[in-house]
Structure 1
């Protein structure tokens, strides 16, 4: 009787170079996150035209712009457990289709009330997409390149936000805000249809959950065409938790509760500081005496620094202890933020500081996506990431009132950025504590697990 071939699907992915099939998956996830960013950004460009056409106040438009964050928060918190139970692909495809459809419907809105409802519901899809996209990407990325791959695909959010400006500039003058919103809705709908047929479910998830196990050999063969997979092979993946355990129950265990709390704290502080900068920087720059053009350039430089920093930090995270890479980057970002006062009289120097701030701060926040996804077991990965995203979005909601309070008290640009250094330091401290704890448990991860599998899936492969 021939010996049964036992294949660790996690090691199968880790031991091989990136294949063309994995590059296709990377492209799909990049587009998901890019369209997510486009959807969020497009309303900012459509807002002035909507206000002019409907004759509504800034307060009413502000409600439309902010309600999406309530939906994003709820969507992120809800979607994680569904992704861990029913699969990343199913939730991802549904969420992309939902936010695309609701944005398309929003283009047909005729009053504030309907637009408010549709944007809030679209937020559910937007919030549900990101955690499952990150979880799926992590499970197809080799361990040695995981951080840089996640940071690259998550940079799609910035690319999508930038693309929304180009779409608005192209369509709005001729076709109006309705066509602009419709385009931002049609693109993700088309992507969702493609994903439904072309995007694979996580092979690690399938193995551990024993779902659709007949597809495992074909997925592995697409990753490595030269791989020899014998009939009746046994597929397994190391895991530290029981697959029957509920994801939320896993997060509340002694091993993961502390991890979850620290990641949520770090992301909450980071997102709050991010949205204060992004939403209020043009106003802050104007109050500081800069022209509208200069204010736009200052805002653009800090945004453009994000993708550059994300890729660099992601690459370094793959070569060094990721916790300490992020701690150092956040402390450097806090230093740049606190030092803006030295450049207030020099526009060029201020732009350089803002670009550096964007590199280190936005790059750290993107790196945190990779860190969070590798901090949880497969059985609770989407739930853990979604919990971090959900709590983080509360920071986005709080950013509006905090920024307004700073402005109403007459704080100068230097004082505001000095204050923003505080949440950056708190994020660094939270990640540092996570790193100290991780030093004692670093060998107890699914990537480093050896020996007998906790969960095994069996399938037959006919060549």
Structure 2
């Protein structure tokens, strides 16, 4: 009989085939999520023309999906902490895929908006659980990097949406772009087979027979069996109570995470929804304006992965504050109408330091909270952030309808970056749980009885 600390075992693993399969599966889902979310910005000019919508009405349609995402994150995060993450991930994927596909049959803004709202519930619900699942199984020295790589698939989905619009819109219409979103349905049986369940869920439910096969996939030197005892760190217990977000001196940090997400998502969704239209109003053709959106999302992919590597080395807090400040500077510089080359460079940097910053903020949050409230913590951070995401498209619509100078359009999205930097600066890392870069306390075999008595199976 052996006594195994599951936290330490996973923390000290090298990247193996198990991690690769998990990463690819989660990337596939988040790419589909990103495609479904960001395609609205690519098809919005054609929707406005076909349905004779003004920019304010179009902005409201963008907000319907974001309202669904807010509710989905707040509802499905806590549900997954209590009932398991795998089934919630698959259910949410089914919801957003089906209702995005069916929105392609809408004939008016109302029916399209209702289906965007329902799809948004699935889109929002899947995100915190993918982040939490990757965080749980990632080796400690790769945790930020793997979460960033996975979640950068969201921005890559935005790139695919823009490319799909470039190819399909001249031949068909916006409905073809939407119907492509139904393809991931065929992958659900494969995802059901390969996705693992959360180890903390198995620990909570005393399902040792389900936990052992998962751990053995990462265990090259030995095999675990039912005679072994599996324990978790006391600081990573399986209590799923929502109030744990605010006790043990975590209240200020929780609120600051919410402020940072609010500001970052306001910028992220405001730009992704209205950048093509903003650039069109400045005299650029539709094709060029879509290329600007591609550049923004490409920067997000690179910025997220680069930021994740930096966070694994230097700590998330320093990296996030720096990225927020760079985001402010790049968006401010865009307001001065730079030449074409500088414009693309600034859009690339802006994508990396806005969407990329949000991706790494999610990773930071997922490591701050204990496993039992990890999906809850990330879900509510993203859920409150969706309020900013709803305001972003509405703000962009208001600015465009007011026909203000280009400088005001970009400055309105630059100022929230400074507020986000201040919020992350106020996070109190010393009150976070003892994994990732939050603090450096480790538990070894000699400490197990003292620190891990809360949960064993």
TM-score (norm: length of structure 1): 0.88
Alignment coverage as a number of residue pairs? 448
Alpha-carbon distance, 1:64 to partner: 4.0
Q: Residues 113-156 of structure 1: CA distance to partner in whole angstroms, max 9, x if unpaired? A: 44333221111111100011110110010111000101111011
Q: Residues 69-124 of structure 1: CA distance to partner in whole angstroms, max 9, x if unpaired? A: 11111111101110100011111111111212223333444555443332211111
- The equivalent residue for 1:262 is 256
- The equivalent residue for 1:20 is 17
1:241-252 equivalent positions in 2, closer than 5 A: 243=238, 245-252=239-246
- The equivalent residue for 1:183 is 180
CA–CA distance in structure 1, aligned partners of residues 115 and 396 of structure 2: 26
Q: Secondary structure at the match of 1:7?
A: strand
CA–CA distance in structure 2, aligned partners of residues 308 and 382 of structure 1: 25
CA–CA distance in structure 2, aligned partners of residues 404 and 290 of structure 1: 18
The structure-2 alpha-carbon separation of the partners of 1:448 and 1:140, relative to structure 1 and needing over 3 Å to count, comes to same
The structure-2 alpha-carbon separation of the partners of 1:27 and 1:240, relative to structure 1 and needing over 3 Å to count, comes to same
Matched, 1:319 2:300: no
CA–CA distance in structure 2, aligned partners of residues 337 and 174 of structure 1: 34
Deviates more, 1:167-176 or 1:261-270: 167-176
The structure-2 alpha-carbon separation of the partners of 1:33 and 1:387, relative to structure 1 and needing over 3 Å to count, comes to same
- The equivalent residue for 2:354 is 361
CA–CA distance in structure 1, aligned partners of residues 372 and 136 of structure 2: 12
* 1:222 equivalent among 217, 226, 248: 217
CA–CA distance in structure 2, aligned partners of residues 405 and 231 of structure 1: 62
Structure number, greater radius of gyration: 1
Q: Secondary structure at the match of 1:301?
A: helix
* Contact in 2 for aligned 1:238/1:446 (Cα 8 Å): no
- The equivalent residue for 1:461 is none
1:39-438 equivalent positions in 2, closer than 5 A: 39-46=36-43, 55=51, 57-58=53-54, 63-109=60-106, 111-168=108-165, 177-187=174-184, 189-207=185-203, 209-240=204-235, 243=238, 245-341=239-335, 344-434=337-427, 437-438=428-429
CA–CA distance in structure 1, aligned partners of residues 415 and 315 of structure 2: 24
CA–CA distance in structure 2, aligned partners of residues 21 and 359 of structure 1: 29
CA–CA distance in structure 1, aligned partners of residues 132 and 209 of structure 2: 22
Q: Secondary structure at the match of 2:121?
A: helix
Q: Residues 158-181 of structure 1: CA distance to partner in whole angstroms, max 9, x if unpaired? A: 111222334455556666555543
Alpha-carbon distance, 1:408 to partner: 4.6
Deviates more, 1:290-299 or 1:439-448: 439-448
- The equivalent residue for 2:455 is 456
Alpha-carbon distance, 1:203 to partner: 1.9
Alpha-carbon distance, 1:29 to partner: 0.5
Alpha-carbon distance, 1:359 to partner: 2.4
CA–CA distance in structure 2, aligned partners of residues 42 and 333 of structure 1: 23
* Contact in 1 for aligned 2:366/2:378 (Cα 8 Å): yes
Q: Secondary structure at the match of 2:455?
A: strand
* Contact in 1 for aligned 2:235/2:433 (Cα 8 Å): no
Q: Residues 12-68 of structure 1: CA distance to partner in whole angstroms, max 9, x if unpaired? A: 111121110110000011011111011123344455666677x55456655444311
The structure-2 alpha-carbon separation of the partners of 1:105 and 1:414, relative to structure 1 and needing over 3 Å to count, comes to closer
Q: Residues 212-252 of structure 1: CA distance to partner in whole angstroms, max 9, x if unpaired? A: 32121111111123323255100111132753x44312113
Instruction: Let me know the Cα RMSD of the aligned residues.
Output: 2.7
Matched, 1:31 2:28: yes
CA–CA distance in structure 2, aligned partners of residues 39 and 348 of structure 1: 30
Q: Secondary structure at the match of 1:235?
A: strand
Deviates more, 1:401-410 or 1:274-283: 401-410
Q: Secondary structure at the match of 1:456?
A: coil
CA–CA distance in structure 2, aligned partners of residues 266 and 374 of structure 1: 16
CA–CA distance in structure 1, aligned partners of residues 286 and 170 of structure 2: 21
Q: Residues 177-201 of structure 1: CA distance to partner in whole angstroms, max 9, x if unpaired? A: 55543331231x2233222222110
CA–CA distance in structure 2, aligned partners of residues 288 and 368 of structure 1: 32
CA–CA distance in structure 1, aligned partners of residues 429 and 171 of structure 2: 55
TM-score (norm: length of structure 2): 0.89
